[in-house]
Amino acid sequence: MDEEIPRLRRELHVVPFDGGAQASRYLVQVDHLNYLVSPALKRVLDTLRAHQERGAGNDHASAELREAARLARQHLPQSLFDGAVTTPRRTPFVISARILSAQFLAHIVPRLGWLFSPLVVAGLLLLCLVLHVAVWGDVVLARLPPGSDALLAVLLLLVGMLLHELGHICACHRGGGAIGGIGVGLYLIFPVFYAEVTDAWRLPTRARARVDLGGLYFQALFLAVVDVVLLMRGGPVAAALSWLTTVTMLHTLNPFLKFDGYWLLSDLTGVVNLHARVGETLRRLLRVAMGRAPLASLGGEASRVLLPYALLSLVFVAGFSAFVLGRIALYRETLPPALAQWWQSIPVAPRPFDLALVLLDLAGLLALPALMLLALLFYLNRMAGYFRPRHPDPERRSS
């Protein structure tokens, strides 16, 4: 008995994907999921959709239609077909929560579109650069101030990070994408704000790059305001805030974690799923080095990006693991005397408030070493994963 011809979901949308110099591909969207498919699979979808629109049954299905059905069952995800269970939206965060809804931001974002006019961008960025150079001497010498001033600097830093996410949303809307929400979450071991800009997949390459850089642009404007305060009034809070903002902006350009630098590299090169393909590329390189595969197996347009990216990722992960290991070794010397001093500081008969302060001091002593240990375990697992056999599907991408 012939198998039934699968039916596609009616809300499925297929549009060309602008991948720069990479081979032509198509973006398939359904619910909150996004997939990249080849032209061959696009023809499979077209064949199934045409059959569905005709309302024809399975009795007189052509050989072409049955072959399309076979390829669809073999290569396309179940979420594209009728009857599929809608999967909850997946995020890269351990925990997350939305703090600003799309409906709320829809009242703000359209009013800020003028900030992305090319002349406005050029003028404001030049002003940001001049201001930062003017205060750079104070910034490089800045240290986190004690007490309540440190808390104020950190709270203002969070305001700048929130504006960073607003920049992503505004850039996506400027390019023609839908306005999403803003949330907060834990990515790996990093607490972060995030912007819902999944609709950016539909945009051309340059518009996606604008989305990638929109957050840094808004954060640069925030930094300019901080630098003006530092230039006019000085003070440890402004200096520390300028330094912290500069460091976070540089950190977000790191292409080896899924921050802005990663997405910018992916969008400009047209190579998607960079993280998932690093291990595959390194294992292929290892087989070539051992003489088990020909050198030609490293070829292809994507490998011009993947090979150096994979090698640099390995260097980054190994280097950061060595750095963290060095810090942990240092804590072996400094932590025991600090804990002994903490133990001696405990009152004989502590009141509840005193006990809370003592426990808070202990948490402060252990927080950074614990974070370093978690970071070491994470990066060692990441490095081992590069050489662990996996079977990724390079045609599928969801956000």
Q: Which residue has the tokens 């809307």?
A: 173
164-170 mean pLDDT: 97
Residue 166: band (very low, low, confident or very high) from pLDDT cuts 50, 70, 90: very high
Q: What is the pLDDT of residue 158?
A: 93
Same domain membership, residue 214 and residue 126: yes
Task: Say yes or no: 237 and 123 in one domain.
Answer: yes
pLDDT at 188: 67
Do 166 and 288 fall within a single domain? no
* Predicted model pTM: 0.76
378: exposed, middle or buried (Cβ count in 10 Å: 0-12, 13-18, 19+): middle
Structural domain includes residue 279 = yes
Question: What pLDDT is stored for residue 104 in this prediction?
Answer: 97
Confidence of residue 260 (pLDDT cuts 50, 70, 90): very high
The answer to whether residue 388 scores a pLDDT higher than 80 is no
3-state secondary structure of 33: strand
Domain assignment present for residue 391? The answer is no
Q: Place 395 in a pLDDT band, splitting at 50, 70 and 90.
A: very low
Asked if the structure places residue 399 within a domain, the reply is no
Using the predicted structure, report yes or no on whether residue 273 has a pLDDT greater than 70: yes
Q: What is the mean pLDDT of residues 267-273?
A: 82
Whether 239 and 97 share a structural domain: yes
Task: Provide the residue range defining the domain that includes 34.
Answer: 13-80
| Mean pLDDT over the full length of the chain | 83
Judged against a pLDDT cut of 70, whether residue 86 lies above it is answered with: no
pLDDT in tens, 328-382: 788 788 888 888 888 887 776 667 777 777 787 787 777 767 777 777 777 777 6
Confidence check: pLDDT of 302 > 70 = no
Measured distance CA(390)–CA(229) in Å, rounded:
52
Same domain? For 21 and 125 the reply is: no
Considering the domain boundaries, does residue 5 fall inside one? no
Report the b/e string of 160-172 with b at 16+ CB within 10 A: bbbbbbbbbbbbb
d(CA 56, CA 50): 9
Out of 28, 54, 80, a domain closes at 80
